[in-house]
Chain A
Amino acid sequence: GAVVSQHPSRVICKSGTSVKIECRSLDFQATTMFWYRQFPKQSLMLMATSNEGSKATYEQGVEKDKFLINHASLTLSTLTVTSAHPEDSSFYICSASSSGGPHEQFFGPGTRLTVL
């Protein structure tokens, strides 16, 4: 099956700093990438949808200036958490789809972010 990777797998940062998370589709071209956040014992919550070469679409309640998403190529999307705060600590998961819209999505392994 299609492989999606994320880097880093876990990151610890100080409050106020910015953190960048990379999501790569390794063996297919991802027209669309999705970013999710998962708090303990909760379901995955969609944060934003990004299509290659265009601005990301954010879900209601997700601050676009705080969670910067760049989908510059068909194999790479990045999520930057700016001015991170402890409440941003969560498990961030990306997924990628090779066709437009939420068709078959392949999930990355996730990134555990801890903000001190």
Chain B
Amino acid sequence: KNQVEQSPQSLIILEGKNCTLQCNYTVSPFSNLRWYKQDTGRGPVSLTIMTFSENTKSNGRYTATLDADTKQSSLHITASQLSDSASYICVVRGGSQGNLIFGKGTKLSVKP
């Protein structure tokens, strides 16, 4: 079954600290993996998108990694800011239909 699992479910960190969010998937065939940021009550906003051949991709303070062999991805946030408080969703495109398969997200809270 095509699934995307994220951990931790929630995370609280202090402003200025770094953190890493994890994503494991069992989607096959794999097309690409995306990380989205979803503020409360808003739609998801794309942070990064990686294909099979890409190992790492950065977008400002966000750095995503992908290990297609172990089917794992991570999102590292550097020097967190209060505005980083949101849900971060890992989404894998793949499967026989090529649909987007969503993880449940990690809810990040950055405290002052």
Instruction: Point out residues on A near B: beta carbons under 8 Å.
Output: 1, 4, 6, 41-46, 91, 93, 95, 101-102, 104-110, 112
Chain B residues near A45: list those with CB within 8 A: 102
Would A102 and B99 count as touching, CB distance under 8 A? yes
In the bound assembly, the distance between CA atoms of A95 and B93 in angstroms comes to 15
Would A110 and B41 count as touching, CB distance under 8 A? yes
Would B98 and A102 count as touching, CB distance under 8 A? yes
Partner of A107, one of B4, B41, B43, B93: B43
Would A105 and B43 count as touching, CB distance under 8 A? no
Which of B43, B93, B104 lies at the interface centre, i.e. has the most chain A CB atoms within 10 A of its CB? B43
- Interface residues contributed by chain B, number (CB under 8 Å): 18
Contact A102 to B93, CB < 8 A, known contacts A42-B104, A43-B105: yes
Rounded to whole Å, the gap between the CB of A38 and the closest CB of chain B is 9
Would A46 and B45 count as touching, CB distance under 8 A? no
| 6 A/B residue pairs, CB under 8 Å, sorted by A | A43-B103, A44-B102, A45-B102, A46-B100, A107-B45, A108-B43
- Is chain A's binding surface mostly helix, strand, loop or mixed? loop
Whether B42 sits at the interface, judged by CB under 8 Å, is: yes
Pairs A-B, 6 closest by C-beta atoms: A107-B43, A43-B102, A43-B104, A109-B43, A110-B43, A44-B102
Digit string of B34-49 for contact with A (CB within 8 Å is 1, else 0)? 0010000111111001
A-contacting residues, B62-90, CB 8 Å: 89
Chain B residues near A91: list those with CB within 8 A: 41
Would B41 and A41 count as touching, CB distance under 8 A? no
Chain A residues near B93: list those with CB within 8 A: 102
Q: A4-B43, A104-B49, A107-B44 given; name 5 further pairs at CB < 8 Å.
A: A42-B104, A93-B44, A101-B98, A106-B46, A112-B41
